[in-house]
């Protein structure tokens, strides 16, 4: 059976750089406060109207497709991971298909937030191995900046996130020892509300104290966003940072060790670990826990912030461009995020 290899990779980040100093204009914070807690110095924000989750994905995809030595017409399936789609529906996958004038191919959207790209890679891997598709475009793209609370109330979350996109083209390879060796996916919904955006959503009326008796325009508006919801900032993301941190530093190492054990390898065999860029402190803890050297771990959250589903492909592409990912290298991807979900992929480049 053939294995799946990454034949081309690309990234796109907006030109607009927002530093920690810039955020001081909107909230009570400081460069020292942000760096101490997250390691982040700056992030990129997309243009408010001219750049979207889809347009950024298209730019990253163009580069990945060109580097794979194919054209958009050769892509026969799309797997798109994001938590910030342009529309509630349809998903961004079909918007990429339209924007790039591809054939009438299938497009699948993945909603696993921070773990989304690894989940998407795993799904695409199965299609390649079975021979169903030959050239799959796997995308992670996020535009967080349009939906953050830029006030002191929301600073614990808003200082973390940035915008950007990464994409890879997955193809089959018969070369022995090359490609995706295994993927490992997990979830535990017991703590789903500890990292979530409660509204909009189908459970919005659960939070309304009084049932809506009629369907007038005002009543319908009350069903989906009451004053109480607005006062509690339920239209913005919520995160219990300490709870997420405690869970992440357990599950991150576990899922990495799971991948290595599955393939009869150890941490000393890893050439490069690319963790989801959630928080530099989490990455540093995982590195220490696994006794990895500095040159075995790649972090760019300092430069781009947390781009959730886009963070791994952006980091992987940047590492490859800098010559830190070479043929024959053992690359481990790992992620933990909302859901909770966590995942890993082991790749022989």
Q: Look up the pTM and report it.
A: 0.91
pLDDT at residue number 295:
98
Give the CATH number of domain 179-193+238-348: 3.40.47.10
Active site residue 276: yes
The tokens for 74 are 């050769």
Helix axis angle, 92-99 to 53-67, nearest 10°? 60
Q: Which CATH number does the domain 3-173 belong to among 2.40.100.10, 3.50.50.60, 3.40.47.10, 3.40.50.1980?
A: 3.40.47.10
Q: Give residue 289's Cα distance to chain centre.
A: 23
Residue intervals of the chain classified under CATH 3.40.47.10 are 3-173, 179-193+238-348
Partners of residue 344 on adjacent β-strands: 184, 334
Task: Count how many Cα atoms sit within 13 Å of the Cα of residue 34 in the half-sphere of its side chain.
Answer: 28
Residue environment code for 277-288, b if the CB has 16+ CB neighbours within 10 A, otherwise e: bbbbbbbebbbe
**Beta strand segments in the chain, E:** 3-12, 17-19, 42-44, 77-81, 106-110, 136-142, 164-173, 179-187, 195-196, 238-239, 272-275, 330-337, 341-348
Per-residue pLDDT tens digits of the chain, which is 349 residues long? 789 999 999 999 999 999 999 999 999 999 999 999 999 999 999 999 999 999 999 999 999 999 999 999 999 999 999 999 999 899 999 999 999 999 999 999 999 999 999 999 999 999 999 999 999 999 999 999 988 889 999 899 999 999 999 999 999 998 888 999 999 999 999 988 898 887 754 444 443 444 444 444 554 455 455 566 556 666 677 888 899 899 999 999 999 999 999 999 999 999 999 999 999 999 999 999 999 999 999 999 999 999 999 999 999 999 999 999 999 999 999 999 998 999 999 999 9
Catalytic residue among 144, 306, 317, 332: 306
pLDDT at residue number 187:
97
Place of tokens 């919904």: 189
Measured CA to CA, the distance from residue 141 to residue 164 in angstroms comes to 6
Per residue in 282-304, pLDDT tens?
999 999 999 999 999 999 999 99
Active site residue 114: yes
Catalytic residue among 184, 199, 276, 317: 276
Per residue in 54-92, pLDDT tens?
999 999 999 999 999 999 999 999 999 999 999 989 999
Active site residue 306: yes
Catalytic residue among 114, 199, 279, 299: 114
């Amino acid at each position: 059976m053939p294995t799946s290899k990454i034949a081309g990779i690309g990234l796109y980040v907006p030109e607009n750089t927002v530093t920690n100093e810039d955020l001081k204009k909107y909230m009570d914070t400081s460069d020292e406060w942000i760096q101490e807690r997250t390691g982040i110095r700056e992030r990129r924000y997309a243009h408010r109207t001219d750049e979207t989750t889809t347009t950024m994905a298209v730019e990253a995809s163009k580069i990945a497709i060109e580097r794979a030595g194919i054209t958009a017409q050769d892509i026969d399936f799309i797997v798109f991971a994001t938590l910030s789609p342009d529309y509630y529906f349809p998903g961004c996958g079909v918007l990429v298909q339209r924007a790039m004038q591809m054939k009438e191919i299938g497009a699948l959207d993945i909603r696993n937030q921070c773990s989304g790209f690894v989940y998407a890679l795993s799904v695409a891997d199965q299609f390649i191995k079975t021979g169903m598709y030959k050239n799959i475009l796997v995308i992670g793209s996020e535009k967080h900046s349009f939906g953050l609370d830029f006030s002191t109330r929301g600073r614990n979350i808003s200082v973390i996130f940035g915008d950007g996109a990464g994409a890879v083209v997955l193809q089959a390879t018969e070369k022995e020892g090359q490609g995706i060796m295994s993927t490992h996916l997990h979830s535990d919904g017991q703590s789903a509300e500890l990292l979530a955006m409660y509204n909009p959503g189908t459970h919005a009326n659960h939070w309304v104290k009084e049932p809506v008796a009629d369907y007038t325009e005002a009543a319908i508006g009350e069903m989906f966003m009451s004053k109480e919801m607005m006062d509690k900032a339920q239209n913005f993301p919520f995160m219990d940072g300490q709870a997420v941190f405690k869970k992440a530093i357990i599950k991150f190492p576990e899922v990495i060790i799971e991948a290595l054990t599955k393939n009869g390898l150890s941490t000393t065999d890893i050439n490069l670990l690319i963790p989801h860029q959630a928080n530099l402190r989490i990455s540093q803890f995982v590195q220490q826990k696994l006794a990895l050297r500095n040159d075995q771990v790649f972090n760019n959250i300092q430069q781009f912030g947390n781009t959730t589903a886009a963070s791994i492909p952006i980091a992987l592409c940047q590492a490859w461009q800098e010559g830190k990912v070479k043929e024959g290298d053992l690359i481990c991807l790992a992620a933990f995020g909302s859901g909770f979900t966590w995942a890993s992929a082991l790749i022989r480049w």
